[in-house]
Every structure is written in structure tokens, then in C-alpha cells.
Amino acid sequence: MASGSPQSPESFYLDLGEGRFESTKYTAGPWSPKAQHAGPPSALLGRALERHQARDGFRIARMTLEIPRPVPVAELTVAVRTVRAGARTELLEGELTADGQVVMLARAWRLAASPQDTPELRPEPTPPPLPAPQPPHGLRGGHLDGYVSAMEWRFPPDTGFDQPGPGTAWARQRIPLVAGSADTPLTRALTLADSNWAVAFELDHVRQLVINTDVTLALHRDPVGEWLCLSAATTASPFGSGLALGRLDDTQGACGQVLQTLFVAER
């Protein structure tokens, strides 16, 4: 923790001002207590992009995160800029740095919201119902005292992280992204999106090294409410790579898609 900063409340980050954020233990991913799950830092970038020269009637429709190296559980600095600003579309980009190194990059399209009379094309079937409260879910070989426990997970009967996918899970944050700051539909979706391929564990992540190099979240409408549902599946090929594709729902139905490229290698 940075010198002079307060004790970490139950949040993923503390705002230190001037684009600097203290990472709490809850950002730690399932593979190491020293490396963050990509969900919280993705959302931190999304929060900064939403706030950057915000315009009424505009929304972020698509955001792609590149993860060139693990994001440490440490102080992060956020920087964003406008690549192109038009009358009805904007291209934004941002980066997260830790100790002077870039650890995450983002590009996002911010668009004017579609007219009210836009047809609702090809509505998806409703998602599975939200299950009743469940005991905490484990993850084989995983560090659980971080992001995994900071989220509430609910799976259909007889399923979970350790059952091979395709998979479906409802989830919500137990804690806010940034202490003292309200979450938004975009940040809630980004906090969950990187869990897409974990919901559909179909590659043996214990025997092999399996990591995603990126996350793309595309939202055709803003999610509603705190509960979100991921329904995900993975494809992979010898001498190729993996691809995890997921559908994002809220309690009203489909609201977006998640795509991740998976690097697969021998340990």
C-alpha cells in the first residue's frame, strides 16, 4: 500500500487522485495473489474512458482490452485520450501502467445512442433463471482469496468452475470497483467479462498453460441491474490457439457478447 494511504476498505481500488489507484487484495486473480484478474483493471479503464470528455446521449458500445503482461496487485496509473472525435462517433484509447510499465491497453468506440424506433432484431431466448444463493465456489488449483471471493457466483445445478464447459454462471460484485464511487453498467460488465473462458473451462488449465491475451466486450444495450449472466463456450485447434465466445445477459435478456483469444502451451 502506498505511504500514507488509508486501510483498504472492501473495494477493488482506492482512488489516490491524479489518475493513480491503489489495488486491494480483492483484485488478485485465481493464479497468483500477486497478479490481478483482468476484470477489475478492465473496468478501471472503462470507468476512465466513460468519464473522459463525456457527452450526453453517447455510450460505449465496444471495448477491447489487450493484456501485454500480468497486471500486478500494486499502484496503477490510468491515462486516456481521444483518437478521433466525430459528431456521432468517437474512438477512445487508454492504458494502465504499473511502475512505469504498460500492463493493459484499451480501445473503445463511443457512439450516439440509437433512435427509440430502432427495431429489436433477433432477440435471444431469455437466460436461465437466477439460481438461489449458493455456498462459495472453489476453483481447482486457484487462489480464492481475491477476485473469486469478491464476486458472488451462482451456477445451474451440478455445475461450477471445475465442471468442463460449455458453461453458464450468474454473478455480481460483492464490493464496488472504486471506494466511494458508484459502479456503472459498463464497469459491472467489464468486471465480469474476463471470467468468460473460466465459466467455460474446456481446456485443461492445470495440465497446460492457458491464458487469454485480450478481452473484447460488445454491448448492443447497456446492462440493467447488478446480476449478470455469462454463457460461454471454447473452441481450440492443434497448432492453433483457443477462442472463448460468451453471451452476456441481465435479468431482462441478452445485452452483449464477449470474445477472448486463448494462448495454449505446455507447462
Instruction: Report how far residue 12's alpha carbon sits from residue 28's, in angstroms, rounded to the nearest whole number.
Output: 9
Residue 4 reports pLDDT greater than 50:
no
Residue 125 reports pLDDT greater than 90:
no
Spans of all domains in the chain: 13-113+126-266
Neighbours of 100 (CB within 10 A): 6
pLDDT tens digits, 15-74: 999 999 999 999 999 989 999 999 999 999 999 999 999 999 999 999 999 999 999 999
CATH number of 13-113+126-266: 2.40.160.210
Residue 147: predicted pLDDT? 96
Residue 209: predicted pLDDT? 81
Residue 15: predicted pLDDT? 97
Are residues 240 and 175 in contact, defined by beta-carbon separation less than 8 angstroms? Answer: no
How large a percentage of the chain has pLDDT more than 70? 96
Backbone CA torsion sign across 217, 221, 227, 232: negative
Cell of 162: 471445475
Instruction: Report how far residue 27's alpha carbon sits from residue 96's, in angstroms, rounded to the nearest whole number.
Output: 14
What is the overall mean pLDDT for the chain? Answer: 92
Q: Which residue has the cell 470497483?
A: 177
CA atoms within 13 Å, Cβ hemisphere of 262:
30
pTM of the model: 0.93
pLDDT tens digits, 144-161: 899 999 999 999 988 888
